[in-house]
Structure 1
Amino acid sequence: MTAQKRRHRPALIALVIVAAVVCLAMAWWQWDRYESSSGTGQNLGYALQWPMFAVAFVYAYRRFVVLESDPEEAEKVRTNNHKVTEIPQGLLPDRPTVSATDPDSGNPEYNQLLKELAEQEKQ
């Protein structure tokens, strides 16, 4: 496993840290809203979600660094994305089909009406 030298990008690290801190601050704020007299279950849900968003930022950065520095891992991800997958037969319902042999009985009459109206407009 030959890993290339990792390049640390201070701006990207700062962005991840700021994003994680903002997410944790939002969680704190939602928790305070939940504990207030006007707090609801929705505030509790957000208070539990925001830390997960912070973890997602850190995970995404770490995954980015690993994929950038390890060509074998990047190739593994690249080949996994190109696998052809098929939906098994019978899993989805059949699509309804319309018979093309049954002409609409009102269609010729409607076309005739439109033709007459167009002729009236020309006069």
Structure 2
Amino acid sequence: MNSRLVARRAGIVAVCVLSLVACVGLAWWQWQRFESSAGTWQNLGYVLQWPLFGLFPAFMFWRLRKLRRQHTEQPPAEVAPKLAPEPPPPPAARQDDGDEEPEDRALAAYNRYLAELNARHQEKQR
């Protein structure tokens, strides 16, 4: 293996071990607080949470290795070239309101409905 890769993995393992040791220490501290006269059930909850926080970096390292291995084992999928969508046709020049397309009429009707609702709302606010 490449010495750089070995050093990188050793660094990752060191960080994982360090985080686990630190979090177990924090769990021990919370356990002592739980057993003290001022301890609460919240401290016991932290006793259970801290080791999980300490294991999280190791889990992520394992998960990323697994995903990378799956990615390298799968053959590249054939990707169909994406065609650019055709641009919409230029809007036709409007001459009369009667020449509106059905979508334009529906939009105009919807806008009138919204204006009516707004007017009603303004009346109630007064």
User: What is the TM-score when the length of structure 2 is the normalising length?
Assistant: 0.52
| Distance in 1 (alpha carbons) for counterparts of 2:71 and 2:46 | 34
List structure 1 segments (4+ residues) > 3 angstroms apart after TM superposition.
5-8
* Count of residues in Structure 1 that have an aligned counterpart in Structure 2: 80
Larger RCO, structure (CA 8 Å, separation 6 or more): 1
Note closer, same or farther for the CA distance 1:74–1:24 as it changes in structure 2 (3 Å cut): farther
| Distance in 2 (alpha carbons) for counterparts of 1:100 and 1:47 | 57
Q: In the alignment, which residue of structure 1 is the partner of 2:67? A: 67
- Whether 2:32 is the aligned partner of 1:32: answer yes
Aligned-pair Cα RMSD in Å: 2.9
Q: Which runs of 5+ in 2 are unaligned?
A: 78-112
**How far is the alpha carbon of 1:104 from its aligned partner?**
2.3
| Distance in 2 (alpha carbons) for counterparts of 1:67 and 1:57 | 15
Q: Which runs of 5+ in 1 are unaligned?
A: 80-98, 108-123
Q: In the alignment, which residue of structure 2 is the partner of 1:55? A: 55
Q: How is 1:81-96 mapped onto 2 (pairs within 5 angstroms)?
A: none
| Distance in 2 (alpha carbons) for counterparts of 1:74 and 1:19 | 28
Q: In the alignment, which residue of structure 1 is the partner of 2:119? A: 104
Q: How many percent identity over aligned positions?
A: 34
State whether residues 16 and 55 of structure 2, in contact with CA within 8 Å, keep that contact through their aligned partners in structure 1: no
| Distance in 2 (alpha carbons) for counterparts of 1:30 and 1:58 | 22
Secondary structure at 2:37's aligned position in 1?
coil
**How far is the alpha carbon of 1:50 from its aligned partner?**
0.8
User: What is the TM-score when the length of structure 1 is the normalising length?
Assistant: 0.53
Q: Normalized per residue, which structure has more helix?
A: 2
| Distance in 1 (alpha carbons) for counterparts of 2:43 and 2:11 | 32
Secondary structure at 1:100's aligned position in 2?
helix
**How far is the alpha carbon of 1:32 from its aligned partner?**
0.8
Q: What one-letter code is carried by the residue in structure 1 that aligns with 2:20?
A: A
| Distance in 2 (alpha carbons) for counterparts of 1:50 and 1:74 | 32
